[in-house]
A and B are shown apart, each in its own frame.
Chain A
Amino acid sequence: DAGVIQSPRHEVTEMGQEVTLRCKPISGHNSLFWYRQTMMRGLELLIYFNNNVPIDDSGMPEDRFSAKMPNASFSTLKIQPSEPRDSAVYFCASSLSDPMYEQYFGPGTRLTVT
């Protein structure tokens, strides 16, 4: 298996622009997680899907952030409009919903908002 795939790997954009991050989970996994990592705040869970349904979005910073999972093999995280404080590495991870199973992380998207 190719593992969790994220695109783009790097994104540089200007403040106010829309940013869309993409994720393809491991085939067969039915849980998908979006995280954000910064030096200041560490690793933060943004949103969690189970069987394509958002279960917990309490970590989404504000209305500028939205996430979708239209099918089992694709998810997006959108920021509109972007701000410099959104600069971070965004990770997608997937797993089975069984609590005994580990998560597998993608390589991350490094977002820089100028």
Chain B
Amino acid sequence: AQSVAQPEDQVNVAEGNPLTVKCTYSVSGNPYLFWYVQYPNRGLQFLLKYITGDNLVKGSYGFEAEFNKSQTSFHLKKPSALVSDSALYFCAVRDEGNFNKFYFGSGTKLNVKP
């Protein structure tokens, strides 16, 4: 069955330090993977996606994500965290074998402390 797992409910990091938010997935067909960010009282915003090609994809606000097929992972990264990056982050996979439905992880709350 298709699924997305975000093993950490919360990630704490100091401003200026690198950050990683973890995501693993399970899908029967090609993995189409997405990261979204949600700020308080807002809708989810698209950050970046992996479709094919280079395993390192770059997105908005300096974020990037690394696709690893053997580990079925798609971790979100940023070299230097900002306090303003504090938000809720969702990983998602789109299943082309199931009418292109999206499956979302449970979300990871990122706290960046000054």
Contacts and interface: CB of A to CB of B under 8 A. Distances in A.
**Do A and B belong to a common assembly?**
yes
Contact of A33 (B49, B51, B102): B102
Interface residues of B, number: 23
Interface string B35-76: 010000011111001010000000000000000000000000
Most buried by B among A45, A56, A97, A105: A105
Contact of B101 (A4, A45, A100, A104): A45
A102 B34 contact: yes
A55 interface: yes
A48 B43 contact: no
A99 B94 contact: yes
B8 interface: no
Interface string B60-103: 00000000000000000000000000000010101110011110
A107 B43 contact: yes
Given A42-B106, A45-B101, A56-B101, A99 B46 contact: no
A98 B46 contact: no
Contacts of A103: 34, 44, 46, 92, 102
B107 A42 contact: yes
B104 interface: yes
18 contacts: A4-B43, A31-B100, A33-B102, A43-B90, A43-B107, A45-B102, A45-B104, A48-B99, A93-B43, A98-B100, A99-B95, A100-B49, A100-B51, A102-B46, A103-B44, A105-B36, A106-B43, A108-B43
Interface of A: 4, 31, 33, 42-43, 45, 48, 50, 55-56, 91, 93, 97-100, 102-108
